[in-house]
Amino acid sequence: MPRSSTMTYVCECGATFASTMYQTVNVTLEPQLLYRLLAGSLNVAVCPNCGRKIESEMPFIYHDMRRGLFAYAHPNAEASDEERDELLERLREVYDEAVDASERILAEERASQSKPPGQPGIPRLTVRRRSPAEDLSARLEPDTPPMQVIFGREQLVALVDSLLEPEERLGRLALSARGAGSAQRERIVSIAERLASQFDLQVETEGVGSDFTVWVYGSRERIEALAAQMQP
Domains of the chain: 81-162 (no CATH), 167-232 (3.30.70.100)
Torsion 9-13-14-17 (CA) sign: negative
139-161 b/e (C-beta count within 10 Å ≥ 16 → b): ebeeebeebbbbbbbebbbebbe
Q: Nearest to residue 62, comparing CAs of 21, 26, 20, 34?
A: 26
- Output the pLDDT for position 104: 73
Look at residue 153 and give its three-state secondary structure: helix
- ∠ CA 20-217-7, nearest 5°, is 10
- Output the pLDDT for position 130: 46
- Whole-Å CA distances, 5 to 2, 8, 20, 123: 7, 10, 6, 41
Phi, psi of 98 (to 5 degrees): -65, -40
Alpha carbon 100 to chain centroid distance?
28
- Whole-Å CA distances, 44 to 28, 62, 156, 221, 225: 21, 16, 15, 25, 28
- Output the pLDDT for position 84: 86
- Output the pLDDT for position 1: 60
Q: Which stretches of the chain score pLDDT less than 50?
A: 121-145
Task: Compute the CA torsion angle 3, 60, 10, 207 (nearest 10 deg).
Answer: -90
d(CA 35, CA 220): 10
- Output the pLDDT for position 122: 45
Quote the radius of gyration of the chain (alpha carbons, Å): 23
